[in-house]
């Protein structure tokens, strides 16, 4: 019998299921996992403590857990073509912390793309461990929103970083790993690729693999890979040649450095998602994600070479990211506000939105559907014209409260939501009836 307290939780899960089914999930770092991934994630494997690594556990009773983790590692090595794969990291940020600990000593210099240019917190952003415990130097993008390799080379020669990150979180262009390798070699830096956002595109052959050019790779498993929330750390042949002890160093950073016992149900679910990624159908999925993104971007007046679109809203007014996110959510479309390069407003109330196609493509939506969705987005954005962010900080709190009320009462947004719900309800969501 389900307790009244637990029944409330399951009612809320049902509420979230409805939101997912009848809305359009367009945050590019979110996706839908298969029913089999859900089965593994909700399995009895969550009951077992397994600190340590296969064959080297601090607890007994891990014979089966060892087989599962070894299997997940073998699948990752096969999928990416690398000699070392570690699957215990709870998520991307702790995985990046483990890599940094393995490569660097405290206060060593690390370089990464700035947050405002589309980089990640763990690549050297202010207030992240990567700038608190290490000396962070950020490179950036140019006026064309693409990585400025001249600046990167100049900064690398000046600061001599121990580690250079190549990875993005809000960057709609392909990455040239060979250019990064050339600069890393100039200063004898370890080159680490964070491919979390584009892993599925790499597996599908849409993007070039970083394996021949970098030393270490980190990927989360829950974005374009369509797995559970988790992370995989890979060491390439080049990385092993650079430091034969790097696997052991990363393992020590994971435990006892950062984590305790691994989440065995998560490891099993990662293995299931890797099995799925090895199927020919996954390549078709990855190609469709990129095609959908390109069409969506074109319809919105911009470009995308990946799965995501970074859309500037400066033509709609000043500091419109928050207003756009809230208005789109009212219309049943989920995106996230995001800074744009050269942000004219505020990191907290930025001038852009970030959206993408992985989740929509997982539901079976195609290029013609992107045209229709872009039409809804443009209609919503027209509704926020005139709702410019006040330039005086003290005026923003009351302004945003009023904006939310206006948006919530907007009849045109309510109409768009009805259209979106009717459309989205036709497409299945894995694990949701």
Instruction: Give the residue numbers marked as catalytic.
Output: 49, 51, 194, 220, 223, 229
Tokens for 241?
């040649």
Residues whose CB falls within 8 Å of the CB of residue 51, separated by 6 or more in sequence, listed in order = 57, 58, 59, 255, 260, 261, 262
| Count of other CB atoms within 10 angstroms of residue 99 | 29
The β-bridge partners of 86 are: 233
d(CA 50, CA 62): 7
Q: Which residues contact 238 (CB under 8 A, 6 or more apart)?
A: 212, 213, 214, 215
**CA-wise closest residue to 32 among 358, 385, 419, 397:** 358
Burial of 30 (0-12, 13-18, 19+ CB in 10 A): middle
Buried b (16+ CB within 10 A) or exposed e, 136-168: bbbbbbeeebbbbeeebbebbeebebbbbbbbb
* Per-residue tokens: 133: 């415990």
How far is the C-alpha of 97 from the C-alpha of 233, rounded, in Å? 11
Provide φ and ψ at 41, rounded to 5°. Answer: -70, -30
Rounded CA-CA distance 325/407 in Å is 11
Pairing assessment for the beta strands 308-312 and 135-139 based on DSSP bridges: unpaired
In sequence order, the 6+-apart residues with CB closer than 8 A to the CB of 184 are 156, 164, 190, 191
Six token digits for residue 56: 């080297």
For the record, the structure tokens of 158 come out as 């000046």
């Amino acid at each position: 019998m389900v307790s009244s307290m637990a029944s409330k939780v399951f009612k809320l899960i049902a509420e979230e299921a409805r939101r997912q089914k009848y809305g359009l999930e367009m945050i590019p770092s979110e996706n839908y996992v298969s029913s089999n991934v859900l089965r593994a994630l909700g399995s009895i494997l969550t009951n077992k403590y397994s600190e340590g690594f296969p064959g080297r556990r601090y607890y007994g009773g891990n014979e089966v857990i060892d087989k599962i983790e070894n299997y997940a590692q073998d699948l990752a090595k096969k999928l990416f073509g690398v000699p070392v794969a570690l699957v215990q990291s709870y998520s991307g940020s702790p995985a990046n912390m483990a890599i940094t600990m393995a490569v660097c000593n405290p206060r060593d210099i690390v370089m990464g793309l700035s947050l405002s240019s589309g980089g990640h917190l763990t690549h050297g952003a202010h207030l992240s461990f990567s700038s608190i415990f290490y000396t962070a130097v950020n490179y950036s993008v140019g006026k064309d929103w693409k990585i400025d390799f001249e600046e990167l080379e100049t900064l690398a020669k000046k600061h001599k970083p121990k580690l250079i990150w190549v990875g993005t979180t809000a960057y709609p262009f392909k990455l040239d790993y060979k250019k990064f390798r050339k600069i890393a070699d100039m200063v004898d830096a370890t080159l680490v690729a964070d491919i979390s956002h584009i892993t599925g595109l790499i597996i599908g052959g849409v993007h070039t693999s970083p394996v021949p050019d970098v030393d270490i790779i980190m990927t989360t498993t829950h974005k374009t890979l369509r797995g559970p929330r988790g992370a995989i750390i890979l060491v390439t042949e080049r990385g092993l040649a650079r430091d034969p002890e790097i696997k052991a160093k990363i393992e020590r950073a994971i435990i006892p450095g950062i984590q305790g016992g691994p989440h065995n149900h998560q490891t099993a679910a990662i293995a299931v998602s890797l099995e799925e990624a090895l199927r020919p159908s996954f390549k078709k999925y990855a190609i469709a994600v990129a095609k959908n993104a390109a069409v969506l971007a074109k319809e919105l007046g911009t470009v995308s070479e990946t799965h995501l679109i970074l859309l500037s809203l400066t033509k709609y007014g000043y500091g419109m990211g928050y207003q756009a996110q809230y208005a789109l959510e009212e219309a049943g479309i989920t995106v996230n506000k995001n800074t744009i390069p050269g942000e004219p407003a505020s990191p907290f109330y930025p001038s852009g939105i970030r959206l993408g196609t992985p989740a929509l493509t997982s539901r079976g939506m195609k290029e013609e559907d992107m045209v229709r969705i872009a039409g809804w987005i443009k209609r919503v954005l027209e509704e926020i014209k005139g709702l410019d962010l006040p330039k005086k900080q003290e005026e923003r709190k009351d302004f945003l409260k009023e904006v939310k009320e206006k948006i919530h009462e907007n009849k045109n947004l309510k109409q768009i939501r009805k259209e979106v719900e009717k459309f989205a309800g036709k497409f299945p969501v894995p694990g949701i009836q």
